[in-house]
A and B are shown apart, each in its own frame.
Chain A
């Protein structure tokens, strides 16, 4: 059974520090990897997609993918209280296929 695992948290990080969120997946043929942010009472919002090994940076966000070790991480630099949310990791073996979702990590940024 395909699985995506995340630490449920909460992960508490002081404002201005780097928040590091991790996700592992079981299906070795997974090809596409996504991070979604979900604020309380809102729907998930796509913030990062990554498809190849290495790092992908977008503003304060960096996604890191290591297919050999089957993990993907999200780094948030200069964390702000507005980054406080639940972060969902999702994985798919190929395009036009439904995503396999992690349960999410709750992140709290303390001022």
Chain B
């Protein structure tokens, strides 16, 4: 079956611009996660959606970051007024239980 998909695979933007990253989870998975991974670093948790519950936003680094999940499926991570330190790979994962399955990621470069 289809895995987690993310788009775009690469995004280059200028400092100060807004970007939207998209994640399509595995069908039937109730939980969806966003992570950020800078070069050579570990996974940094950003936000977690579980079913119809309020999302856990505790990992969002600033109010420039927001995410939504429409209809319990597709999610969009939005970064406003991008900064150079936002450059990283943004990973999405989905799960039904505890086992998380990752998408290929979006590599964001802020010039």
Contacts and interface: CB of A to CB of B under 8 A. Distances in A.
Interface of A: 32, 34, 42-46, 49, 88, 90, 92, 94-99, 101-104
Chain A interface mostly helix, strand, loop or mixed? loop
B105 interface: yes
B98 A99 contact: yes
8 contacts: A32-B98, A34-B98, A34-B99, A34-B100, A94-B98, A96-B30, A99-B100, A101-B43
Contacts of B41: 103
Nearest to A4: B42
Contacts of B101: 46
A88 B99 contact: no
Interface in B20-43: 30-31, 33, 41-43
Given A98-B33, A98-B56, A92 B42 contact: no
Contacts of A44: 43, 91, 102
Place the interface of chain B in its size category.
Answer: 20 to 34
Interface of B: 30-31, 33, 41-43, 45, 48, 50, 56, 91, 97-105
A102 B101 CA distance: 17
A49 B45 CA distance: 20
A104 B45 CA distance: 15
5 closest A-B pairs by CB: A103-B42, A43-B102, A32-B98, A95-B97, A101-B43
Contacts of A102: 42
